[in-house]
Amino acid sequence: METAHLHVIAKNAANIPLQAASLDIWDKKYRLRSKAGEIIDQSIDDTYQRVARALADVETDEGKRDTWYTEFLWALRHGAIPAGRIVSNAGALEHKPATSTINCTVSGTIYDSMDDILNKVHEAGLTLKAGCGIGYEFSTLRPRGGYVSGAGAYTSGPLSFMDIYDKMCFTVSSAGGRRGAQMGTFDVGHPDVLDFIKAKRESGRLRQFNLSLLITKEFMDAVKSDGEWKLAFPIKAKEAETVDLNDPEQIVWREWPIHGDYLCNESGLVACRVERKIRARRVWDVIMSSTYDYAEPGFILIDKINEMNNNWFCEEIRATNPCGEQPLPPCGSCLLGSINLTKFVRDPFTAKANFDWEGFRKTVGIFTRMLDNVVEINGLPLEQQRNEIMSKRRHGMGYLGLGSTVTMLRMRYGDDASLAFTDRVTREMALVGWQSALELSKEKGPAPILDQDFTVTEAMLRKRPEMVSDGYKAGDIVKGRVLHARYSRYMQHLASVAPELVNELAETGARFTHHSSIAPTGTISLSLANNASNGIEPSFAHQYSRNVIREGKKSKEKIDVFSFELLAYRNYVDPEATAGKGLPDYFVSADDITPKAHVDVQAAAQRWIDSSISKTANVPSDYPYEDFKDIYLYAYDQGLKGCTTFRFNPEAFQGVLVKEADLENTKYRFTLDDGSTVEVKGNEEIEYDGEIHTAANLYDALKEGYYGKH
């Protein structure tokens, strides 16, 4: 008689059928079609095969291309999800020759001249046309009322020029069907900062932009001490005789992205003329009230970003990509990819629920090589962008589905167990990623910037005093790989758990200068990850509506979706469970999480992320304003690189994700052609201009002026 061998097969949370909304988004966003509209990707797996083949064909050893194709396809089927531009455009050159695989770019520095302002508009238009998002800093432009000697007139200021970029983005995205994405950043010490903060209070203005303030330690110290804040702008060297450079009431010395004709000292600081003085808390209150009502401007802690930048020795960062997870230098660019953590949950919702660490590490290792290969097929439209990405080879690997995953592991998002898991999963991703950076460098060579020689400057010694202790002095020559591995603050932190790895990176150089960031992943989460929670976030809700932009339609379209963890719970535990009943108490959504817990989760991950994290702390509509302000102070004290909040405010805007209860409880009033008015609930449907809209989406489209624009 033969012996039967029995094996217990763990329930795998990855085996949940895709919901209709997920297939629909894949079809509209990522499925490849020919120029004639014929379907090429017959299935999602066809999409994976196309991407895997395109990235494997980058390998210079032709004999190994099929091997890497098999490995890459395995990774794509086991949690690796490249960013949308890669999924959409890799392997699609024949059908879409003018598109890029890069999500994130930052403009070259905008110099304070009409010629350069308009030149950067042209470059931005080409970048947006290629499908990339772009960020800019606008505080390099002189304040409103400043004299322009060449024109014999006074400037209208940075905000008026931002309007030009805004209109350009709308025009380019309308022509291409995909709405453009822009980030505008602005220094908190610029004389026009209050105008920037309040810009979006004007209906329809700067709606093609996300806005963020560059917040400095100097400003935060002034807020905490209730001190005076000086609004200032750089002076040129020829103006030095008109001021007393030693009088702090006239001049403050600050970090500035442009030196050129400006007056600088030996430490690299620029002399800025004080234009106005104001209480720091007055500026803070304007920032907080605008953020409370309009969810903008965001909060970029620029000193922390530059302090922690792996390329601290050759970059001055002043802007980010549109969602903030990639702080980049002028002309910088970065490709993205996320790992779907839900793919590694075994026996979900049971006492045996666990995470497959071995499988996760394998996927990270293969995915790192895949993303590095994207550099060779970047498709960026500008030479300076291509030079930047080839020189530094930075990419941003992150993850999605954190909220869904901790729920399936029976943890409550934001509790101690979930924070420990967040710390570990991010640390493991970092360790495997940088080990891969070493191995790839030995095989293919390091990022070229890390093989370059750099001259030690006084500014470098000011930023890294330990270099003086190590015997360096101004004028010494040192390799980029040493400055990167031994003196970047992030690598010093990594060395606390992997000292031998970091020592080898200092000797050999890494294949890339940056490895990780956590993006919002909204569309790829909803489509390819079956609505696993976005990025590092908890699920927005377990059953809700999503506003989707459709090509050729002026308002957004509302579709119903379910969280991945609810689908999994129905599949494995209770087929009748709904968001309102039958779910365990660890099933939480964004509004159930305290703002402090949102910050704690971000802090747990940030320790091991070398770039940044896009995260939004959802705040209830009735959240007290005074408590709201404390969120940002807490985020600063936790050492975050940025902070963003969202509070539902239908009078100001419609978010991308909307709960049915919010729409049900919000009424919108429309004025008809005969002057009469009609009042309807936000979730009621209205026919207008031959299309069906929810009242909330139609109200938003009319308010923002999308009707009447062609």
pLDDT of residue 706: 58
Does residue 264 form part of some domain?
yes
- Quick: pLDDT tens for 378-407: 999 999 999 999 999 999 999 999 999 999
**Residue 334 — φ and ψ, nearest 5°?**
-155, 140
**Domain containing 128 — which CATH number?**
3.20.70.20
Question: Is 24 a domain residue?
Answer: no
Residue 566 domain-assigned? no
Neighbours of 285 (CB within 10 A): 14
The residue-averaged pLDDT of 629-648 equals 92
Per-residue pLDDT tens digits for 649-680: 766 655 555 666 666 767 777 776 667 676 77
**In this structure, are 122 and 262 located in the same domain?**
yes
pLDDT at residue 654, as a whole number: 53
Grade residue 428 by pLDDT with cuts at 50, 70 and 90.
very high
| Assigned domain for 56 exists | no
Higher local confidence (pLDDT), 418 or 661: 418
Would you list the DSSP string of 273-323?
EEEEEEEHHHHHHHHHHHHHHH--SEEEEHHHHHHH-TTTTT----EE-TT
CA distances from 548 to 338, 555, 704 (A): 21, 9, 16
Residue 635: inside a domain: no
Q: Name the band, by pLDDT with cuts 50, 70 and 90, for residue 705.
A: low
Phi, psi for residue 469 in degrees, rounded to 5: -60, -30
> Which of 301, 320, 339 is where one domain is finished?
320
CB contact at 8 A, 440 and 368 = yes
Confidence of residue 556 (pLDDT cuts 50, 70, 90): low
Q: Which domain holds residue 709?
A: 670-710
> If 0-12 CB within 10 Å is exposed, 13-18 middle and 19+ buried, where does residue 128 land?
buried
Mean pLDDT confidence for 49-55: 98
Nearest to 300 by CA among 640, 29, 32: 640
Which is higher by pLDDT, 552 or 597?
Answer: 597
- Beta-carbon contacts of 277 under 8 Å, excluding residues fewer than 6 positions away, are 228, 229, 230, 231
CA dihedral 241, 244, 248, 250 (to 10 degrees): -60
Given a contact cutoff of 8 angstroms between Cβ atoms, the answer to whether 188 and 214 are in contact is yes
Give the pairing of strands 333-340 and 104-106: antiparallel
pLDDT at 463: 95
Output the pLDDT for position 443: 98
Query: Using 50, 70 and 90 to split pLDDT, how confident is the model at 155?
Result: confident
Question: Can you give the pLDDT at residue 4?
Answer: 45
Same domain, yes or no: 312 and 455: no
464 assigned to some structural domain: yes
Structure tokens at 340: 């779907």
Separation CA 330–CA 315 (nearest Å):
8
Domain end point (choices 467, 500, 533): 500
Any domain includes 293: yes
- For residues 510 and 442, give the distance between their C-alpha atoms in angstroms, rounded to a whole number: 9
Contact of 9 with 64, CB cutoff 8 Å: no
| Structural domains of the chain, count | 3
- Do residue 456 and residue 308 come from a single domain? no
Q: What average pLDDT does range 307-314 have in this prediction? A: 98
pLDDT of 502 > 80? The answer is yes
Give percent of the chain with pLDDT exceeding 90. Answer: 76
Tokens 């007056």 belong to which residue?
263
- Does 708 score more than 60 pLDDT? no
Same domain (yes/no): 147, 295: yes
Query: In a 10 Å sphere around its CB, with 0-12 CB exposed, 13-18 middle and 19+ buried, how is residue 565 labelled?
Result: buried
* pLDDT tens digits, 84-134: 999 999 999 999 998 999 999 999 999 999 999 999 999 999 999 999 999
- Token code pair at residue 156: 């209208």
320, 345, 376 — which closes off a domain?
320
Task: With residue 127 as reference, give the H or E element that holds it.
Answer: helix 114-129
pTM: 0.90
Structure tokens at 640: 């975050």
Domain presence at residue 128: yes
